[in-house]
Amino acid sequence: MTESVILSMQGMEISFPGVKALDRVDFTLRSGEVHALLGENGAGKSTLIKCLTGVHRMDAGRIMFDGSEISPSSPQEAMKMGISTVYQEINLCPNLTVAENIFIGRQPMKRSQIDWKEMNRRASELMERFNIHIDVTRPLDIFSTAVQQIVSIARAVDIQAKVLILDEPTSSLDENEVDRLFRVMEGLKKEGLGIIFITHFLDQVFRIADRITVLRNGQLVGTFEAGGITKLDLVTRMIGKDMDAIYNLKRPDVAKDAGKMLEADRIGITGGTVGDISLHVKEGELLGFAGLLGSGRTETAQMLFGVTRAGKGSIRKQGKTIRVRHPIDAIGQKIAFCPEDRKRDGIIGDLSVRENIMLVTQGRRGLFRPMSRQEQVQLAEKYVKLLGIMTPDIEKKVGELSGGNQQKVILARWMATDPDVLILDEPTRGIDVGAKAEIQRLMIELCGKGVSVLFISSELDEIIRCANRILIMRDGEKAAEVPGGSTTQHEILSIIAGEGVQGGVA
Amino acid sequence: MSKPARTRNTLLNRLMNPKFIMVYATIVVFLLIYTIGALLYGDKGFTTLRTFLNLFIDNAYVGISAVGMTMVIITGGIDLSVGAVASLTGMFIAYGNTILGIDPFICIAFSILIGVALGLAMGAMIQYLKVPAFIATLTGMFFARGVCALISRESIAINHAAFNELAKWRIKIPDVKPLAYVNFNVLLFIVMILIGAYMLQATRFGRNVYAIGGNEQSASLMGLPVNRTKVLVYGFNGLCSVLAGVAYALYVKSGWNLSLQGAELDVISSAVIGGTLLTGGVGYMFGTLFGVLLKSVIPALITFNGTLLSWWAKIGTGVLLLLFIGIQRIVVSASARKKL
């Protein structure tokens, strides 16, 4: 590894009302290295990046880049200097071609006209360099997220970037796509680029990063060589407490005589891809749902909650047949559902924490019995405290909170309705280790109070750790049901893969 | 990903691009209706070149305005002020020349100044004050219409030698009968379409217009001059409205404060029928050209029929709009499905 430092930030400090978001943080990046930036949500990773790219103005500290001090005032300015950022959400234009997305704003010109031929040729070359063989004259939106992600990287590096910031680029990619992205990153590394890599996936950090910097509560915990630290050690440093608390979670105790809380008998979507699902969950039991994306996990949960109507089969709650045709029926039956895409289907970003928490409670009371302001505040404050939601106050817009805290707000919304059955679709996706552990702990606590929890997750180890039983889905059908705890990841994987091993990447 | 899909730059290959599907739909429907007209009224002269060119002559002012409107709609916006601004232009020319005795071409220059300024102001309102385009341009429309009435509430004839000369000026198409010709308005319309198409396809400004319509936030994060581009688009549309007003004044040789009421809706529907997506990001000038033709061939049919009320033209346009917005929805949702 070359020792030339391309970027160094010294004594970075910034305060927001009520919070010291960065407190004397140092960070150095060498050219030709991948430097992972880790920390829980709210640890200050994004804030540090935003200071670097000129979104925020820091209160103190200096940034040295390529030998001189800089203070960019906007991402555009940072980009011009050679610091490019690729965000988790793809910030490209779906209606333009791949080539245009790479070159727009800097198109090659010939006789003061856009030289489309040259632009397409160069775009093609650039994508070939990343081993992506596509027709760059096709609109961007026909390509997969991974390709789009690589197009944004191509755009970023073609601006003669010296530093590339990747802000959670892998969170919506599958295994193959991650591999592809990593190959691109390796290539850029060889060309001498300094890459700052922000992610929640520790495995990926160890695969690609040379050094790791950990932040916690706005402070620097330390910078480590990737080879010189273990995963457990790293996590402990990230959350600042012993990881035993997480790994020693105890599965819910289900009483021997616990009755069946919810049963589904051969339910399926008429004419749909999901059919013949039978399942039950007992009082106080945690039922895990494993399977690939698109295997029918989410669809089953949606049928139970009435998002999609189960055209076939029947659903019983505490022995009585119930009709769940719309979510409102399910809510009436004290069933709660936290959807997979929390940004789209869960939170209402422009409403405050208080308003988001009270939503369903108010909805159940109906239009003519409004909750008083005082009741709302009490409700919100109770859950903010109970769940440890990190927010300056309950009037903050939910959209401005971190992912883990948003998830907790949705959880609070449903807990406030005192549900019997709680369905959680990927509640821990895209949130950090500490928040994950807390969500898992909360689920198990709820089970202790007699709530039945249906827990959908793509991360097998957390399902195995938490669930009493695990239901495995494959191709829209229930493939198997195994007990939690005693099952290994490998066993579940081989069931998911099935006989023919369908390479199902969603 | 399969084998390297090298871009073959043959013309055919480029024309086969699925992004042109809406334009082709417009052309096909136009040809269909034109053929129906030819079959029904071919003997009455529907198929003559003259009838065809009359489509241009009678609708040039709509087409000129549609050039700017197409650009506005591609950014994801809308402009309701175009009819009123065009009408105001007519008032400036008529009142300025007939009542005040100012040269009409100076009046036109003044109109351009006012029209562009009003467009830029509305653009600034939309971009910097975050007023929805619908509201901002509605105020622009009321403003222009109000100024029209302030100037005069009567129809004023324009009687100026050079202006009339320009209105009468025409290029005869040789060796056809009945006599067929194009006039200044038609040329202006075609030139504006070409200028618009050039701006959209060959300049960075034009590509930024598409980028903004595709995803404004992304465009801004990509470092594109979003604010400037959007304000300029409304300014350019102001210019188009004024030129449409000039064309209309040449067409009717008068100015009236209540003229061109509802013309903005004709302009918008021409662009939409021509394949411009109301949600922004998609649209072509040549689509708009055919949108104008398609929208004007219906009244022509009704005229040839002779017994139908002219309101049937409105119903026909309504059906067309419905049809095309329907097709757009299908195309958009089909491409969304394909990605899964």
Domain parsing of chain B, residue ranges:
42-329
Q: Do A272 and A407 lie in a common domain?
A: yes
pLDDT of residue A499 exceeding 60: no
Angle at B117 between CA B112 and CA B120, to 5 degrees: 125
* Alpha-carbon distance A25 to nearest alpha carbon in chain B (angstroms): 26
B207 and A124: CB-CB below 8 Å?
A: no
A104 touches B at CB < 8 Å: yes
Are both A69 and A216 inside the same structural domain?
Answer: yes
Which of A86, A92, A102, A104 to probe the B interface (max B CBs under 10 A)? A104
Question: Are both A154 and A166 inside the same structural domain?
Answer: no
Test B221 with A87 for CB contact under 8 angstroms: yes
How far from chain centre, in Å, is Cα A475?
24
What percentage of residues in chain B have a pLDDT greater than 90? 67
How far B271 CA sits from the closest chain A CA (Å)?
A: 18
Q: Tell me the shortest Cα–Cα distance from B65 to chain A, in angstroms.
A: 25
Residue contact A114–B339, C-beta within 8 A: no
Same domain for A332 and A295, yes or no, is yes
Above 50 in pLDDT, residue B3? no
Q: Which of A77, A95, A131, A179 to mutate to test the interface with B (most CBs of B within 10 A)?
A: A95
**Checking DSSP bridges between strand A83-86 and strand A163-167, what pairing results, if any?**
parallel
Asked if A95 lies within 8 A of B213 by C-beta distance, the reply is yes
Q: Which residue of A has its CA nearest to B337?
A: A142
Show the tokens assigned to A365: 């009371």
Report residue B64's pLDDT band, with 50, 70 and 90 as the boundaries.
very high
For residue B124, pLDDT over 80 is answered with: yes
Average pLDDT over residues B239-261: 95
* Cβ–Cβ gap A91/B210 under 8 Å: no
What pLDDT does residue B340 have? Answer: 41
Residue B19 to residue A139, Cβ atoms within 8 A: yes
- The DSSP secondary structure of B247-280, one letter per residue, reads HHHHHHSEE-TTTTTTHHHHHHHHHHHTT--TTS
Interchain CB contact of A298 with B (< 8 Å)? no
Q: Judge: A91–B208 Cβ closer than 8 Å, yes or no.
A: no
Residue A224 token pair: 């480590």
**What token pair was written down for A483?**
């007990």
Task: For residue B7, give the nearest of A75, A79, A120 by CB distance.
Answer: A120
| Alpha helices (H) in B169-225, listed in sequence order | 184-202, 204-214, 216-221
Nearest CA in chain A to B226: A105
Strands A211-216 and A219-225 come out as: antiparallel
Task: Name the residue in chain A with its Cα closest to that of B14.
Answer: A137
Residues near A404 by beta carbon (within 8 Å), at least 6 away in sequence: A40, A41, A431, A432, A434, A435, A436, A438, A439
Residue where a domain terminates, one of A210, A240, A270:
A240
Q: How far apart are CA A330 and CA A322, in angstroms?
A: 9
pLDDT band for A245, please (50, 70, 90 cuts): low
**Residue A473 belongs to what H/E stretch?**
strand A469-474
| A92 vs A172, more confident | A92
Do A10 and A141 lie in one domain? The reply is no
Q: How confident is the model at residue A505 (pLDDT cuts 50, 70, 90)?
A: very low
User: Where among A209, A240, A271 does a domain terminate?
Assistant: A240
Pair (A109, A45) in one structural domain: no
Mean pLDDT, residues A323-348: 86
Q: Residue A88 and residue A14: Cα distance in Å, rounded?
A: 23
> Distance between CA atoms of A447 and B148, rounded to whole angstroms?
72
Inter-chain CB proximity B7 and A93 less than 8 Å: no
Q: Report CA dihedral (A22, A239, A403, A141) to the nearest 10 degrees.
A: 90
Q: Do A114 and B1 touch (CB under 8 A)?
A: no
Chain A residues closer than 8 Å to B222 by CB: 91-93, 104-105, 155
Residue of A nearest to B1 (CA): A133
Higher pLDDT residue, A462 or B68?
B68
B43 pLDDT exceeds 60? yes
Residue of B nearest to A55 (CA): B221
Q: What is the CATH number of the domain that holds A408?
A: 3.40.50.300
End-to-end, the C-alpha distance of chain B in Å comes to: 15
- Interface A:B, Cβ pairs < 8 A: 84
Which pLDDT tens digit goes with each residue over B209-226? 999 999 998 898 888 899
A204 close to B (CB below 8 A): no
CA–CA separation, B226 and B214 (whole Å): 12
Whether pLDDT at B317 is above 70: yes
Of the ranges A40-49, A164-173, A497-506, B162-171, which one carries the lowest mean pLDDT score?
A497-506
Task: Please name the member of A93, A134, A144 whose beta carbon is closest to the beta carbon of B214.
Answer: A93
Which tokens is B177 given?
């009968």
Say yes or no for a CB contact (<8 Å) between A94 and B214: yes
What is the average pLDDT value for chain B, to the nearest integer?
A: 90
Q: Any idea which fold B42-329 has? A: ABC transporter involved in vitamin B12 uptake, BtuC (1.10.3470)
Per-residue pLDDT of A1-31, as tens digits, reads 446 888 999 998 888 766 678 888 999 999 8
Spatial separation of the C-alpha atoms in residues A23 and A37, rounded to whole Å: 16
Among the residues of A388-472, which ranges form H helices? Answer: 403-415, 433-448, 460-466
pLDDT digit string, tens, across residues A284-321: 999 998 887 677 888 888 899 988 888 888 899 998 99
Residue range B270-292, pLDDT digits in tens: 999 998 998 899 999 999 999 99
Q: How many structural domains does chain A have?
A: 3
The string of pLDDT tens digits covering residues B171-207 is: 998 888 788 899 999 999 999 999 999 999 999 999 9
Stretch B97-126: mean pLDDT: 96
Q: Nearest by CB to A96, from B7, B211, B223: name it.
A: B211
Question: Does residue A246 surpass a pLDDT of 50?
Answer: yes
Of the residues B7, B13, B195, the best mutation for testing chain A's interface (the one with the most A CB atoms within 10 Å of its CB) is: B7
What interface predicted TM-score (ipTM) does this complex get? 0.85
Instruction: Return the pLDDT at A15.
Output: 81
> What residue numbers bound the domain in which A393 lies?
252-497
Residue A42 has pLDDT above 70, yes or no: no
**Cα B325 to Cα B307: distance, rounded to the nearest angstrom:** 30
User: Rounded CA gap, A103 and A122, in Å?
Assistant: 9
Q: For residue B337, what pLDDT is reported?
A: 57
Burial A174-210 (b: 16+ CB within 10 A, else e): beebbebbbebbeebbeeebbbbbbbbebebbbebbb
Most confident of A33-47, B129-143, B270-284, B319-333: B129-143
CB contact under 8 A, A136 and B3: no
Band the pLDDT of A128: cuts 50, 70, 90.
confident
Instruction: Tell me which of A98-102, A185-189, B55-59 is least confident.
Output: A185-189
The three-class DSSP label of residue A457 is: coil
Band of residue B5 on the pLDDT scale cut at 50, 70, 90: very low
| Domain annotation covers residue A246 | no
Does position A210 have pLDDT exceeding 90, yes or no? yes
- Show which of residues 148-167 on chain A sit within 8 Å of chain B, judged by CB atoms: 155
Q: Which residues contact A468 (CB under 8 A, 6 or more apart)?
A: A251, A252, A254, A285, A286, A287, A483, A484
Token pair of B143 as six digits? 């403003």
In a domain, A503, yes or no: no
Query: Which distant-in-sequence residues (6+ apart) come within 8 Å of B10 by Cβ?
Result: none
What mean pLDDT value characterizes chain A?
84
Listed residues A176, A205, A240: the one ending a domain: A240
Chain B residues in contact with chain A using a Cβ-Cβ cutoff of 8 Å: 1-7, 9, 17, 19, 201-204, 207-208, 210-211, 213-215, 217-219, 221-224, 281-282, 335, 338-339
* Lowest model confidence (mean pLDDT) among A35-39, A165-169, A243-247: A243-247
Residue A240 backbone zone (phi > 0: left; psi -120 to 50: alpha; other: beta): left
Task: Confirm or reject contact between A55 and chain B (CB < 8 A).
Answer: no
A273 CB within 8 Å of a chain B CB: no
A127 part of contact set with chain B, CB < 8 Å: no
- Element at B1 (helix H, strand E): none
For residues A452 and A390, membership in a common domain is answered with yes
Instruction: Copy the structure tokens of residue B17.
Output: 């691009």
- Which residues of chain B make contact with A91, given a CB cutoff of 8 A? 215, 217-218, 221-222
The beta-carbon neighbor of B5 closest among A75, A90, A133 is A133
Tens of pLDDT, residues A218-235: 888 889 998 888 877 887
